Amino acid sequence: MQQYNSLKKLKIIKSLINLIPFSRSLRLTLRKKANAKFIPPALNLFIQDLENKYPDYWIFSTFWPWGDFLMCCALLDEFKKQNGGKILILYAGDTQLQFINTFKFADETLKVCPEFYYALCTNKGFSEHNKHGLTKGHLYEMSHHVFKEVETLNVTNFFELYAKMFKLTDPIPEVPVVPPFVRDKVEELYTNISKNKKVILITPDAHSYDSKEISIEFWRILTSKLEDLGYKVIFNTKRKSFEKFEKVFLPLFEESYFATLCYANITLRSGFTDIITIMGAENQIVLYPKSMRFITITEQAQIEEINRCFKLRNDKTFEETMFDVSSINNMFKKNFLEIIVDDESKTIDSITQVLTEKEETEVWNK
Q: At what angle do helices 344-365 and 216-228 cross, to 10 degrees?
A: 20
pLDDT digits (tens, 9 = 90+) for 248-277: 999 999 999 999 999 999 999 999 999 999
Q: pTM of this prediction?
A: 0.93
* Per-residue pLDDT at 30 exceeds 90: yes
CB 77 within 8 A of CB 103: yes
Position 127 scores a pLDDT of 75
Q: How confident is the model at residue 333 (pLDDT cuts 50, 70, 90)?
A: very high
* Per-residue pLDDT at 2 exceeds 70: no
Instruction: State how far the Cα of 246 lies from the Cα of 362, in Å rounded to an integer.
Output: 27
* Per-residue pLDDT at 330 exceeds 50: yes
Position 365 scores a pLDDT of 79
Q: What percent of the chain has pLDDT over 90?
A: 84
Q: Is 353 helix (H, G, I), strand (E, B) or coil?
A: helix
DSSP per-residue string spanning 45-77: HHHHHHHHH-TTEEEEEE-SSHHHHHHHHHHHH
The radius of gyration of the chain's CA atoms, rounded to the nearest angstrom, is 22
* Per-residue pLDDT at 1 exceeds 50: no
Q: How confident is the model at residue 3 (pLDDT cuts 50, 70, 90)?
A: low
pLDDT digits (tens, 9 = 90+) for 285-313: 999 999 999 999 999 999 999 999 999 98
* Per-residue pLDDT at 133 exceeds 70: yes
The 10 Å Cβ neighbour count of residue 344 is 15
Please state the rounded mean pLDDT for residues 159-167. 97
Instruction: State how far the Cα of 207 lies from the Cα of 272, in Å rounded to an integer.
Output: 10
Please state the rounded mean pLDDT for residues 24-43. 90
Task: Give the mean pLDDT of the chain.
Answer: 94
CB 72 within 8 A of CB 142: yes
* Per-residue pLDDT at 175 exceeds 60: yes
Please state the rounded mean pLDDT for residues 191-195. 95
Instruction: State how far the Cα of 11 lies from the Cα of 84, in Å rounded to an integer.
Output: 39
Please state the rounded mean pLDDT for residues 14-24. 90
* Per-residue pLDDT at 21 exceeds 60: yes
pLDDT digits (tens, 9 = 90+) for 85-106: 999 999 999 999 999 999 999 9
Position 6 scores a pLDDT of 85
Instruction: Tell me, rounded to whole angstroms, the distance of Cα 292 from its chain centroid.
Output: 16
